[in-house]
Amino acid sequence: MSPAEVQLAPHQQLKVRARGWWTRNKWFAIFVLIPTLASAAYLYLMASNQYVSEAHFTVRSQAGASASSSSSSSGGLGSLFGGGGSSGSMASVSDSITVADYLQSHDAVAALQKRVDLVALFRRNEADLLSRLTIARPTPEFLWDYYGRQVEVEFDLETGITTLTARAFRPADAYAIASQLLLLGERRVNDMNVRAYGDAVALSKRQLAEAERDLRAIGTKVTSYRQNEREVDPTTAASAQIGLVSQLQSNLSAARTQLQTMSSLIGTKSPQADALRNQIASLEQQIGAQNARLTGGGNAIARSLGTYEDLQTQRAFLQQRYQSVSTSYEQARQQALRQQLYIVRVVEPNMPVKSIYPQRFVTVLTIFVVLLVVYAIGWLIAAGLREHSS
Q: What is the pLDDT along the chain (390 residues), one digit of tens a residue?
A: 555 445 556 667 677 776 777 777 888 888 999 999 999 999 888 889 999 999 999 998 876 555 555 444 444 444 433 444 444 444 568 888 999 999 999 999 999 999 999 999 999 999 998 899 999 999 999 999 999 999 999 999 888 899 999 999 999 999 999 999 999 999 999 998 888 888 888 888 888 889 889 888 888 887 777 666 666 566 666 566 566 667 767 777 777 777 677 777 666 666 776 677 777 777 777 776 666 565 555 455 555 666 777 877 888 898 898 898 888 888 888 888 887 888 999 999 999 999 888 888 999 999 999 999 999 998 888 888 877 776
- Structural domains of the chain, count: 2
The answer to whether residue 364 is domain-embedded is no
Q: Note down the domain range covering 213.
A: 205-336
- Contact, 241 vs 286, CB < 8 A? no
**Cα–Cα distance, 15 to 54 (Å, whole number):** 53
The answer to whether residue 85 is domain-embedded is yes
Q: Are both 284 and 194 inside the same structural domain? A: no
Task: Give me the long-range contacts of 230-236 (CB less than 8 A, separation at least 24).
Answer: 231/304, 231/308, 234/301, 234/304, 234/305, 234/308, 235/305, 235/308, 235/309
Q: Are both 115 and 232 inside the same structural domain? A: no
The answer to whether residue 301 is domain-embedded is yes
Q: Are both 175 and 215 inside the same structural domain? A: no
pLDDT value for 291: 61
Torsion of CA 216, 221, 223, 229, to 10 degrees: -170
**Cα–Cα distance, 283 to 289 (Å, whole number):** 10
Crossing angle of helices 301-338/62-73, nearest 10°? 70
What distances in angstroms separate CA 123 from CA 53, 108, 130, 143, 300, one per listed residue?
A: 18, 19, 11, 12, 93
The answer to whether residue 232 is domain-embedded is yes
Q: Are both 184 and 222 inside the same structural domain? A: no
**Cα–Cα distance, 202 to 336 (Å, whole number):** 11
Q: Are both 163 and 239 inside the same structural domain? A: no
Q: Are both 217 and 189 inside the same structural domain? A: no
The answer to whether residue 294 is domain-embedded is yes
Q: Are both 210 and 68 inside the same structural domain? A: no
Neighbours of 166 (CB within 10 A): 27
Whole-prediction pTM: 0.65
Q: How would you classify the pairing of strands 51-61 and 341-347?
A: antiparallel
Phi, psi (rounded to 5 degrees) for 151: -125, 130
- Buried b / exposed e over 210-221, threshold 16 CB at 10 Å, is ebeebbeebeee
Crossing angle of helices 301-338/271-295, nearest 10°? 40
Q: Are both 253 and 314 inside the same structural domain? A: yes
pLDDT value for 84: 44
Q: Are both 158 and 226 inside the same structural domain? A: no
- Contact, 208 vs 330, CB < 8 A? no
Q: Are both 143 and 175 inside the same structural domain? A: yes
The answer to whether residue 71 is domain-embedded is yes
pLDDT value for 235: 64
Q: Are both 108 and 56 inside the same structural domain? A: yes
The answer to whether residue 7 is domain-embedded is no
How many Å from the N-terminal Cα to the C-terminal Cα in the chain?
A: 32
Q: Are both 250 and 210 inside the same structural domain? A: yes
pLDDT value for 168: 95
Q: How would you classify the pairing of strands 161-168 and 151-155?
A: antiparallel
